Amino acid sequence: MLQIHDNEDSPAKSRSFRNSEQISSTPGALVNTTRKREDYLEWPEYFMAVAFLSAQRSKDPSSQVGACIVNQENKIVGIGYNGMPNGCDDDLLPWSRSADNQLDTKYPYVCHAELNAIMNKNSADVKGCTMYVALFPCNECAKLIIQAGLKEVVYLSDKYHDTPQMAASRRLLSMAGIMYRQFKPKRTEIVIDFNSINYPGMLNCATK
């Protein structure tokens, strides 16, 4: 089942419960299966969730970041997560954040999610597209985003806002006319349960 945790009470939810006609297999949960769902994922939540799901592929022990590039038709044209370059053994390269020698940290080697999403594109280019990314992009990724012709960045966290890299990134993105905005999720959590497909109305019934 998909567990959806709202930050606020939703009128749509109580309406759907009032019209309930079917009792799901989840104890206490009433599910309306005669009308369209009201609490389906909206596009921005969906794309950000795809970015977060992609991040689950990352082998980085301290930071898992995903990015999802979407064209003007709401079609996904690129997905990426942070990792070592293709053909470079991620068992041999370092993953630590600090060391006496910078060459013994991950930083000179790792490819950021934004880079991988752009390089993984399945379209001719990503001009005019929007990138959904978990973290505000660093200055190196800002350069890539600009040169690739993206028009907008939607990020979730800005936890490194006060670093020089992020200040440089904002400066570059602003000069290049690329919009960036923080995504404020209505839900705090989306849980994927593979068993949900075996139950009627499964996605509606698991709201906590």
| Contacting positions for Zn ion (CB under 5 A) | 112, 138, 141
| CB-CB contact of 114 with 92 (8 Å) | no
Pairing label, strands 66-70, 76-81: antiparallel
The pair of structure tokens assigned to 22 is 């079917």
User: CB 167 → Zn ion: shortest distance, Å?
Assistant: 14
Q: What is the DSSP string of 65-116?
A: -EEEEE-TTS-EEEEEE-BPPTTS-TTTS---S--SSGGGSSTTTPBPHHHH
Nearest Cα neighbor of 33 from 206, 201, 197 is: 201
DSSP letter (8 states) at residue 199: S
The pair of structure tokens assigned to 13 is 């939810």
| CB-CB contact of 66 with 155 (8 Å) | no
Q: Which of 114, 140, 152, 189 is catalytic?
A: 114
Active site residue 38: no
* Closer Cβ to Zn ion, 15 or 97, answer by number: 97
Question: CA–CA separation, 129 vs 25, rounded Å?
Answer: 42
User: CB 141 → Zn ion: shortest distance, Å?
Assistant: 3
Question: CA–CA separation, 135 vs 7, rounded Å?
Answer: 21
Residue numbers annotated as active site? 114
